[in-house]
Amino acid sequence: NAGVTQTPKFRILKIGQSMTLQCTQDMNHNYMYWYRQDPGMGLKLIYYSVGAGITDKGEVPNGYNVSRSTTEDFPLRLELAAPSQTSVYFCASRTGFAEQYFGPGTRLTVT
Amino acid sequence: AQSVTQLGSHVSVSEGALVLLRCNYSSSVPPYLFWYVQYPNQGLQLLLKYTSAATLVKGINGFEAEFKKSETSFHLTKPSAHMSDAAEYFCAVTGKNNNNDMRFGAGTRLTVKP
């Protein structure tokens, strides 16, 4: 199993541009999550999904959108990128058990 | 809502010394508690978890943590630090009935001196 994979690894965006961060898991997990990690701040939940077709907001959803058309994929969309969205983004998934499995992250810079 | 506080953003120990990373939680419901480790430029890897079985939890790489309800703590320890333990460590909490809302501490960076 590859586990949780994320693309791209790095990206630089200009203010106002849009992009999609990709996340795929091959563990048949129902639950998937998007976090952002800012220095000294830990991880904050952006959006999550409990299964295909079902998504919900987390702690910091503004400026982002998600969709979940399949069990495997959970893309995160940034519309009108802003400098405040400069961060490292992590995707994670889990089964019915409690722990989450994390991808390697996408480092995004908005200038 | 639940939260965790990690005491000390940086901890430095000598190789072979005891590692103690502190985590206190706040939760209105019985919690699940976790410790994750993050090596540079990598994702988070689970070290150990508490899900209301034994209060002393053993994890990977020789780490363990003890759930103390009376102190609302879940401190991470390792008897003898190794150079390879240098990383950032995160404590996290979810509620048993709402484990989609995992809250992380700010992290503790562990440095191991030779």
Interfacial B residues in 84-103 facing A (CB < 8 Å): 90, 94, 99-102
pLDDT digits (tens, 9 = 90+) for A32-82: 999 999 987 889 999 999 999 999 999 899 999 999 999 999 999 998 999
B9 touches chain A (CB under 8 A): yes
B5 touches chain A (CB under 8 A): no
Yes or no, beta carbons of A98 and B34 under 8 Å apart: yes
Nearest chain A residue (CA) to B35:
A99
Of A36, A30, A45, nearest in space to A96 by CA:
A30
pLDDT digits (tens, 9 = 90+) for A81-104: 999 999 999 999 998 766 889 999
Cβ pair B75, B14 in contact under 8 A: no
Whether residue B99 has pLDDT greater than 70: no
pLDDT confidence of residue B40: 87
Q: Number of A:B CB contacts under 8 A?
A: 50
| Mean pLDDT of the region B75-101 | 89
Whether residue B47 has pLDDT greater than 70: yes
pLDDT confidence of residue B97: 67
Interfacial A residues in 38-67 facing B (CB < 8 Å): 40-45, 48, 50, 56, 58-59
Of A30, A23, A79, nearest in space to A55 by CA:
A30
C-alpha span between A101 and A33 (Å, rounded) = 10
pLDDT confidence of residue A97: 66
* Single-letter amino acid, residue B43: G
Yes or no, beta carbons of A90 and B106 under 8 Å apart: no
C-alpha span between B85 and B68 (Å, rounded) = 24
C-alpha span between A100 and A89 (Å, rounded) = 15
